[in-house]
Amino acid sequence: MKIYSEKKSDHKKRINILGITIYKKENKNNFVKRKYLAGILKTKRNRQYYKVYLFGIQIYKKVYNFNLFNGFENLHNQISLLEDDIINKMSYINQRLITASVWNEKAFSKWKGYYRGKEIVLIGAGPTVNYFEPINDAIYVGCNRAFLLNNVNFDFLFSIDKVGINKYYDEFFAYKKDSCIKFIGDQNLGKDFQIPETKIPFENVYRYITYAGMESISRFNMDISSTPLHNAASVSLQALQFILYTQPKRVYIVGIDCTAGSKKYFKSDGKEFDNSLRNEDAHKLDEININLYKEIKAFAETYYPDTEIISINPVGLKGIFKDVYTDSYKKHNEGQ
């Protein structure tokens, strides 16, 4: 059985999810009839009236007065377009939720509670990562170009936005390909964002789904194996959702500086990655990410109160988690 199917003609349209008709539209005898969710909700419209039925019972009726209402045809078209937009959005959301339940289960389910009692280090590509002093016996999770660090052996890598690794596809996926697991997000925002399927090998690489395009549904969820991860301007937030899911004793946040607005990135290779072609406001994205870190802190305190979160040499995240500054950072930034 197909998860999703759609049939469309000049006068009819039908969308099925797992064999259930979630939407049916029919134009017949000057009537437009729509059925939602296997007919639980129905609408019927022509140029005289508009009716809504719930479980077969009429719950709403509007009669149009042609003598008083000029431009009815325009309203008629606007209503039709609005209804089409709603059902298209519903179909998109249903598709993403179903795909998430399959992809994310495969990617994440085995890691639930896997690192209880352990310490995990989350590393981004911000410049303060240069002052990080490695922690022995920790699990390491890296974001995008953090894998270029030569003093850390990563166990997991996360990437979702092509601008983060598009110049390093081969190196990223070749990094410890037999032992380091890569999680590649799908946000379905077009070619300027999407990491192409043709760049992704099959060894130890898993796709996952985010809430891109349907953000109003949720922010953060406890079970990432069956629901999308929250989509943000920093993949580090998705990596942190995964880390919390593993229930470690302690999390260290490193190099998550939220300073993209000043174009500050870790540059071990002498390069910066460029997102200027997308006309994004990097300062605004920094602000959004900082606020989301405040939200995920509240989420963690509710669902994972036994996990301590420590921010190493924080810049944009200062004052959110427990702040710790290394001696090398303090020496270099003394008086600033």
Do 55 and 138 share a domain, yes or no?
Answer: no
- Average pLDDT of the chain, as a whole number: 79
pLDDT at residue 79, rounded to an integer: 56
Mean pLDDT (whole number) for 142-160: 91
Phi, psi of 49 (to 5 degrees): -155, 170
pLDDT at residue 286, rounded to an integer: 85
Whether residue 80 is contained in a domain is answered as: no
Distance CA 176, CA 255 (A): 21
pLDDT at residue 69, rounded to an integer: 46
pLDDT at 22 over 70: yes
| More confident position, 190 or 310 | 310
Whether residue 291 is contained in a domain is answered as: yes
| More confident position, 233 or 293 | 293
pLDDT at residue 3, rounded to an integer: 67
Whether residue 102 is contained in a domain is answered as: no
Q: Where among 51, 69, 87 does a domain terminate?
A: 69
Do 156 and 271 share a domain, yes or no?
Answer: yes
Mean pLDDT (whole number) for 238-248: 95
Do 43 and 184 share a domain, yes or no?
Answer: no
pLDDT at residue 240, rounded to an integer: 96
**Token pair for residue 17?**
């999810």
The structure tokens 């994004």 sit at 280
Whether residue 91 is contained in a domain is answered as: no
Do 176 and 269 share a domain, yes or no?
Answer: yes
With contact defined as beta carbons under 8 Å apart, do 317 and 309 qualify? no
Distance CA 14, CA 121 (A): 48
Mean pLDDT (whole number) for 279-299: 85
Global pTM reads 0.70
Do 133 and 211 share a domain, yes or no?
Answer: yes
pLDDT at residue 158, rounded to an integer: 93
Structural domain containing residue 143: 112-332
With contact defined as beta carbons under 8 Å apart, do 115 and 247 qualify? yes
Whether residue 135 is contained in a domain is answered as: yes
DSSP-derived secondary structure letter, 10: S
**Token pair for residue 83?**
């209804």
Please tell me whether residue 72 adopts helix, strand or coil conformation: helix
Distance of alpha carbon 328 from the chain centroid: 35
Whether residue 74 is contained in a domain is answered as: no
Do 169 and 296 share a domain, yes or no?
Answer: yes
Number of domains in the chain: 2
Order of strands across the sheet that contains 41-45: 4-8, 12-17, 20-28, 31-36, 41-45, 49-54, 57-63
Nearest to 81 by CA among 93, 73, 92: 73
Query: What angle (nearest 5°) sits at the alpha carbon of residue 158, between those of residues 145 and 163?
Result: 50
With contact defined as beta carbons under 8 Å apart, do 266 and 146 qualify? yes
Do 38 and 145 share a domain, yes or no?
Answer: no
**Token pair for residue 58?**
């009429």
Rounded to whole angstroms, what are the CA distances from 76 to 59, 140, 144? 20, 57, 49
Do 226 and 281 share a domain, yes or no?
Answer: yes
Distance CA 215, CA 292 (A): 13
pLDDT at residue 59, rounded to an integer: 73
Mean pLDDT (whole number) for 131-156: 92
Mean pLDDT (whole number) for 97-111: 83
What digits encode the pLDDT tens for the residues 54-87? 777 777 777 765 544 445 455 555 555 566 666 6
pLDDT at residue 297, rounded to an integer: 94
Do 16 and 127 share a domain, yes or no?
Answer: no
Distance CA 292, CA 286 (A): 10
With contact defined as beta carbons under 8 Å apart, do 296 and 232 qualify? no
Do 206 and 321 share a domain, yes or no?
Answer: yes
pLDDT at residue 213, rounded to an integer: 56
**Token pair for residue 246?**
């593993």
Rounded to whole angstroms, what are the CA distances from 153 to 80, 176, 250, 273? 56, 9, 18, 22
Conformation bin of residue 37: beta by default, left when phi > 0, alpha when psi is -120 to 50: left
Whether residue 200 is contained in a domain is answered as: yes
Distance CA 248, CA 255 (A): 19
CATH code at position 188:
3.90.1480
pLDDT at residue 103, rounded to an integer: 81
Q: Which of 22-31, 53-62, 91-100, 139-148 has the lowest mean pLDDT?
A: 91-100
pLDDT confidence band for 264 (50 / 70 / 90): low
Do 44 and 137 share a domain, yes or no?
Answer: no
Distance CA 308, CA 290 (A): 18
With contact defined as beta carbons under 8 Å apart, do 251 and 122 qualify? yes
Whether residue 260 is contained in a domain is answered as: yes
In the chain, the N- to C-terminal Cα span, in Å, equals 63
**Token pair for residue 223?**
């079970």
Distance CA 185, CA 209 (A): 6
Side chain identity at residue 318, one-letter code: K
Do 55 and 183 share a domain, yes or no?
Answer: no
Distance CA 155, CA 116 (A): 16
What digits encode the pLDDT tens for the residues 86-101? 666 666 666 677 777 7
Handedness of CA 284, 286, 289, 294 (dihedral sign): negative
